[in-house]
Amino acid sequence: MAFVRPIAKSVEYVGHHGFAVTIYIDDLPAEALAFASITQIDTSGQPILGSAITTVNNVVPQVGSVTVRGEINWQFDLHVRVSVLAIPPDYRFGQSA
C-alpha cells in the first residue's frame, strides 16, 4: 500500500526525563513531513493536563518510521501519548490523492 495521504499514529509511553520513541508507518519515505505532540494521559488512556511540562525536542522521519525525542520534566514516571502526523512530501491539500 503506497503512502499517499496524511496519516496520524500514536504510541503510549511510560517514563520521565528524556526519551526517544519510534512510531512505524508502512511505506513512509524519509522525505515525508512529520509533526509530533506529547499528551499526558491517565491510567485509562484519557488525556489530562497534569503539572508536568512535556516537550518535543526532535522529530525524525525515516524510511518506514518516525522517531520522536522528547522530555517529560517530572521526578516520577508518567503515562504519555506520543502522536505523529506524517504527510507525503508531494501531497497537496484540497486535492484527491
pLDDT in tens, the chain (97 residues): 678 899 999 999 999 999 999 999 999 999 999 999 999 999 899 999 999 999 999 999 999 999 999 999 999 999 999 999 999 998 988 766 5
Whichever domain contains 71, its CATH number is 2.60.40
Question: Is residue 2 situated within a structural domain?
Answer: no
Domain count, the chain: 1
Question: Is residue 25 situated within a structural domain?
Answer: yes
Angle ∠(59,10,36) on CA atoms, nearest 5: 25
Question: Is residue 64 situated within a structural domain?
Answer: yes
pLDDT for residue 96: 61
Question: Is residue 65 situated within a structural domain?
Answer: yes
Nearest to 77 by CA among 9, 24, 23, 12: 12
* Dist CA 81 CA 13 (whole Å): 6
Question: Is residue 74 situated within a structural domain?
Answer: yes
Question: Is residue 17 situated within a structural domain?
Answer: yes
Question: Is residue 63 situated within a structural domain?
Answer: yes
Question: Is residue 96 situated within a structural domain?
Answer: no
Q: pTM here? A: 0.90
Residue-number span of the structural domain to which 65 is assigned: 7-87
